[in-house]
Structures are given as structure tokens and as C-alpha cells.
Amino acid sequence: MSSTAARPQRATPTRLSRAVPWAGAALALAVAAVVAWLGWSEHEEKLENQRARNELLARVLEEQATRTVETTAIAMASLGELLGTQTPAQIGEVTPVLNQAMVGLPFLRSLAVLDARGRVLTSTVPRDAGVTIDPRRLGAWPAVDRDRLGPFVAGRTLADLSQRGAAVPATVGFIPLLRGMELRNGEPALLVALLNADAFANQLELTVADRLGGAVLTGYDGALLAATASVPVPAGTTLASHPVFRDYLPAREHATYLGTGVRSEEQLVAFRVSRSRPLVVLVEYPHAAVDVAGGRASGRLPPSAPWSCWRCW
């Protein structure tokens, strides 16, 4: 065999020096991709967790609001049977019964009975008795033995709605629940429960328990009834142009989406319609807040990691 047989060539230092930067760049890109993927993955996880939390809050708040109205409606049905045995002149005799009912309904401002002209025949608030108001301000008059939830009304009591009523802040008000009745002499009457709007707002606030999160309670028409302090929209404002009312109702009774909320910035929104009352609960959380939380959580590798890998070569 010839002594001049070919021998394998060794890589020269020049070739190695040329390959090192490319290998470093590839590694840096790989690390950057891993960091980006970790950030995206953890953000998606946090987004899904917040979406699930919003859905849960919407369900709980809907149940609370519905239960409050239903409890009041049941009490009013019982009171209506008793009141139907009275004449207008005798209505005042059952005022103690109304006062006793108030003990079990702490979320009410008052209970009252009105005649067809809007005169208050009796009330758990003494100064309301005898005043006359426009009953249309409370909403449409329901049929006998039927009830109807009215809109947000500014005022503390029915006397505030009379011509001599005192001025009250627009943010202080009640939500009337009306029950149609017929008195013993055949005259129509209206049993009115003044649901305290602040009681609903407190329910929202205590349940959400997050300064970044927000929640509102509206009628089915989008009229705002109550909201958390983080939602700077006054009660009575219409949200009819909100995506929930414009794009989802009545086809969907509950859903979540990422987009326009009650507040200005992009929100993660969940909503739910009451199972038995014309009420809608909306819960929202700023998308930017989820992004910030996701960015902090993805810091398993520092942003300088790719550059450090490059320099190590």
C-alpha cells in the first residue's frame, strides 16, 4: 500500500471561527423562540383562567340578583292576597303587616300601595302616605296578580317623585317591583316594592372583590341598574349599543368574548341573562391587565438570555 494514501483533513481554525457565530445565532434564536413560546403559553393560560373566573362571577351574580327579586315577588304575592280583602279606606289597617314584611326584606327601601291615580294609600315610610305621583314613572302597570320589574328611578322614597319632592342625587335610587291588585270593592291598586339599587351594587362589589374587575346589572333592554365603583357609568344609562345587547341577545343567554366592554379599554367580558327575570349581569376584566400578568409570569428566562447565549460564543 502506498505511503501517500489520502488522510482525512482536519477542520482548520478558520472554518471553526466562521461556524461559531452562526451556531451562536441559531442558539440565540432558539432561546428567543422558547422564551416567546413560554410567554404566549402562560398568557393564554392566564387568559383562560380569567375567562373562567368571569363566567363564574357572572353566574353567581345572576343568581344573587334573581334570588333578591324572586324573594320580593313571593312576599308581594302573599301581601297581595291580604290587601285584596281590603277597601281603599281599610288599607291603612294593614300597614303593620307591611312593616313586618320589611324585616325579612332588608334590601328594600319601602313597600307601598297606590290607587289608579297614583295616590299612595299606605306605605312603610310615613311621609309617603297621601302623596300623589305619576305611576308611569315606575313602569308599566301589570295585570292583576302579575308583577313587573321597573327601571332605575332616582329617589329614596315615593315622596321624592311627587311635585313637592326633595331633590336627590341622580346616583341615589331604587328599582320598583310592581304587582297589580284589585281591592275588595273592585278598584285597581298597585303594590310597590322599592328595591334599593345600592343593595345590588354592594352585591356586585363584594362578589367581584377586585379593583381591576368590573360588573354591572342591567335590565333586558340594557338600562343600567347598578354597577361596581370601578365602572364609572351612572345608573339609568342605556347600554343598548353594547355588544352584548347588539350582537348576542336574544340568541345567546350567556357567553364570553374579548373586545368592547362598558369601560373604554379592551375587556374580557362574560355575561349571563337571568333565568326568570328581565335582568342581565356583565362582568369584565381589562385585557391589558391579563397581558401584564402574563408577561411577569413568563420571566422564567430573562429577556437578556438570547444575548447572553450569543456572547458566550
Per residue in 6-56, pLDDT (tens digit) is 555 555 666 656 666 666 666 666 666 655 554 556 666 888 999 999 999
Per residue in 180-236, pLDDT (tens digit) is 999 999 999 999 999 999 999 999 999 999 999 999 999 999 999 999 999 999 999
Measure the CA angle with vertex 36, ends 46 and 17; round to 5°.
Answer: 160
| Average pLDDT score, the chain | 87
- Higher-confidence residue of 158 and 13: namely 158
Count the neighbouring beta carbons within 10 Å of the beta carbon of residue 126.
11
Mean pLDDT to the nearest integer, 156-179:
89
- Higher-confidence residue of 295 and 161: namely 161
Q: Residue 15 has what pLDDT?
A: 63
Mean pLDDT to the nearest integer, 240-246:
97
The pLDDT of residue 305 is above 80: no
Q: Which of 276, 226, 269, 275 is nearest to 248 (CA)?
A: 269
Per residue in 44-88, pLDDT (tens digit) is 688 899 999 999 999 999 999 999 999 999 999 999 999 999 999
In the Cβ-directed half-sphere of 313, how many Cα atoms lie within 13 Å? Answer: 17
Spatial neighbors of 131 by CB under 8 A, at least 6 apart, are 119, 120, 158, 159, 162, 164
Q: Is the peptide bond before 142 cis (omega within 30 degrees of 0)?
A: no
3-class DSSP state for residue 36?
Answer: helix
Grid coordinates representing 271 are 355575561
Q: Which residue has the cell 314584611?
A: 101
Q: How confident is the model at residue 171 (pLDDT cuts 50, 70, 90)?
A: confident
C-beta of residue 69 within 8 angstroms of C-beta of residue 277: yes
3-class DSSP state for residue 136?
Answer: helix
Q: Which of 194-203, 255-264, 302-311 has the lowest mean pLDDT?
A: 302-311
Q: What domains sit in the chain, N to C, each tagged with a CATH number?
A: 67-196 (3.30.450.20), 199-294 (3.30.450.20)
- Higher-confidence residue of 51 and 164: namely 51
Which residues of the chain form beta strands (DSSP E)?
A: 108-115, 120-123, 147-149, 153-154, 173-182, 188-196, 214-219, 224-227, 254-259, 267-273, 279-286
C-beta of residue 57 within 8 angstroms of C-beta of residue 207: yes
Q: Which of 52-56, 83-87, 163-167, 256-260 has the lowest mean pLDDT?
A: 163-167
Q: Residue 45 has what pLDDT?
A: 81
C-beta of residue 225 within 8 angstroms of C-beta of residue 235: yes
Q: Which residue has the cell 413560546?
A: 37
Q: Which residue has the cell 381589562?
A: 286
**Three-class HEC string of 185-203:** CCCEEEEEEEEEHHHHHHH
The distance from CA 69 to its chain's CA centroid, rounded to whole angstroms, is 16
How far apart are the C-alpha atoms of 108 and 90, rounded to whole Å? Answer: 24
